[in-house]
């Protein structure tokens, strides 16, 4: 718990919103950094449209309406508890928003492999039009997640942190000298698209062999389907209803937790790829702490131990280096929204 809020010129409650692949999640963060309200709506699906420019606008507008809906729900919830918080139910004058992909410093989405229909959308403008009178702060979701983990979560006390979100792909956020790094154009931390095998499997970004094709939940599914089609992983295939093509990462995790040695080997293989990437990142950034988040972390110690072993074996200088912590995220699916609320309170990433 930190106490910066009491001196903030803003309202006592800050709103943070995270635009996810399936849901728009919002939280209201109180003066003692406690989550006082939460709201969520499904992420609108892209309208079918022949013109890519207009389609981008349509998709962005729908998401902006969904965000306004979440803010209205948070306003109502905060009014409901306003007495106990002493806010008078004023809501939040600033709204922080986390969005996936490469955002420039104007809040425009330049590139998002997993959200191509929204390319070119200026989130700050679109969302601002739906929420007049409020200051809108838009940042990359992973940059906000690392802010939350650094300030309030698993990386408290460290000044040099890399957050790695192992979901469908890999998201990355960097803290150097206690501050979130966004790079020269806003695009720093796109660690999932470091190419680790130029002849590897194709990536939604248009290239081949990106780290996230090997070390994410999506990578786990890919490896497992390959093994299943080659006649291995019978128990995992059974979990997937008998169809090798239908095997998902979650099926492998479930079989591994139940003790299936084949599934455990696949998880360990993915863990090796995680550690391999962390060792490369350590060469560039020398963090004190890696925070691992995202659905793949649900595979537990099997994955983490394998990643730690690979990191120790592969990192330059090996045993001569001081230990680097590899920990799991504290905020789970709320990390982006909590970081967005912190950025709203601070007026940006600082």
Q: Which residues make up the interface to Zn ion (CB under 5 A)?
A: 193, 203, 205, 210
As measured in angstroms, the least distance from the Cβ of 193 to Zn ion is: 4
As measured in angstroms, the least distance from the Cβ of 52 to Zn ion is: 20
β-pair type (23-29, 35-42): antiparallel
As measured in angstroms, the least distance from the Cβ of 339 to Zn ion is: 24
Beta bridge partners of 15: 28, 95
What's the alpha-carbon Rg for the chain, to the nearest Å? Answer: 21
- CB nearer to Zn ion: give 203 or 304: 203
Strands (E), the chain: 14-19, 23-29, 35-42, 94-99, 102-103, 109-111, 135-140, 161-166, 170-176, 179-180, 289-293, 325-328
Distance between CA atoms of residues 27 and 69, nearest Å: 13
Q: Would you say how long the chain is, in residues?
A: 350
Distance between CA atoms of residues 182 and 187, nearest Å: 6
User: What sections of 81-118 are H helices per DSSP?
Assistant: 82-85
Residue that the structure tokens 């009178």 belong to: 133
DSSP state of 159: S
- CB nearer to Zn ion: give 205 or 281: 205
- CB nearer to Zn ion: give 210 or 220: 210
- CB nearer to Zn ion: give 173 or 339: 173
As measured in angstroms, the least distance from the Cβ of 136 to Zn ion is: 29
User: What sections of 6-104 are H helices per DSSP?
Assistant: 52-80, 82-85
- CB nearer to Zn ion: give 153 or 219: 219
- CB nearer to Zn ion: give 154 or 210: 210
As measured in angstroms, the least distance from the Cβ of 249 to Zn ion is: 18
- CB nearer to Zn ion: give 205 or 349: 205
As measured in angstroms, the least distance from the Cβ of 101 to Zn ion is: 12
Say if residues 80 and 88 touch (Cβ distance below 8 Å).
no
DSSP state of 46: P
Of 69, 65, 288, the C-alpha closest to 177 is 288
As measured in angstroms, the least distance from the Cβ of 190 to Zn ion is: 9
As measured in angstroms, the least distance from the Cβ of 192 to Zn ion is: 7
- CB nearer to Zn ion: give 140 or 324: 140
Phi, psi of 349 (to 5 degrees): -80, -5
Q: What is the dihedral of CA 180, 184, 189, 191, to 10 degrees?
A: -160
- CB nearer to Zn ion: give 203 or 326: 203
- Interior/surface letters 128-159, b for 16+ CB within 10 angstroms, e for the rest: bebbeebbbbbbbbbbbbbbbbbbbbbbeebe
Distance between CA atoms of residues 166 and 291, nearest Å: 10
As measured in angstroms, the least distance from the Cβ of 198 to Zn ion is: 12
As measured in angstroms, the least distance from the Cβ of 171 to Zn ion is: 12
Any residues with CB less than 8 A from the CB of 243 and at least 6 apart, and which? 237
- CB nearer to Zn ion: give 17 or 210: 210
């Amino acid at each position: 718990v930190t106490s910066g809020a009491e001196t903030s010129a803003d309202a006592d409650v800050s709103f943070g919103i995270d635009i996810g692949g399936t849901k728009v999640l919002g939280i209201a963060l109180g003066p003692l950094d406690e989550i006082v309200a939460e709201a969520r709506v499904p992420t609108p699906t892209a309208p079918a449209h022949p013109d890519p420019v207009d389609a981008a606008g349509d998709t962005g507008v729908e998401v902006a309406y969904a965000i306004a809906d979440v803010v209205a729900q948070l306003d109502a919830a905060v009014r409901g508890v306003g007495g106990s918080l002493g806010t008078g139910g004023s809501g939040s004058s600033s709204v922080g928003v986390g969005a996936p992909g490469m955002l420039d410093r104007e809040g425009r989405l330049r590139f998002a492999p997993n959200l191509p229909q929204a390319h070119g959308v200026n989130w700050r403008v679109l969302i601002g039009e739906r929420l007049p009178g409020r200051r809108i702060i838009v940042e990359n979701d992973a940059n906000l997640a690392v802010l939350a983990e650094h300030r309030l979560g698993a990386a408290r006390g460290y000044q040099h942190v890399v957050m790695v979100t192992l979901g469908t792909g890999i998201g990355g956020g960097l803290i150097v000298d206690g501050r979130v790094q966004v790079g020269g154009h806003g695009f720093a931390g796109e660690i999932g698209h470091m190419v680790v095998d130029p002849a590897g499997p194709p990536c939604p970004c248009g290239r081949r062999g990106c780290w996230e094709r090997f070390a994410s939940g999506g990578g786990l599914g890919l490896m497992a389907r390959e093994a299943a089609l080659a006649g291995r992983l019978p128990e995992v295939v059974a979990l997937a209803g008998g169809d090798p093509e239908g095997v998902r990462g979650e099926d492998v995790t479930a079989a591994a937790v139940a003790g299936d040695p084949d599934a455990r080997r696949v998880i360990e293989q993915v863990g090796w790829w995680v550690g391999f990437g962390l060792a490369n990142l350590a060469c560039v950034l020398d963090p004190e702490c890696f925070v691992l988040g995202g659905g793949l972390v649900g595979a537990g110690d099997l994955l983490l131990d394998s990643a730690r072993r690979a990191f120790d074996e592969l990192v330059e200088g090996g045993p001569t280096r001081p230990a680097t912590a590899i920990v799991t995220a504290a905020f789970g699916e709320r990390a982006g929204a909590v970081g967005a609320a912190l950025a709203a309170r601070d007026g940006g990433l600082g």
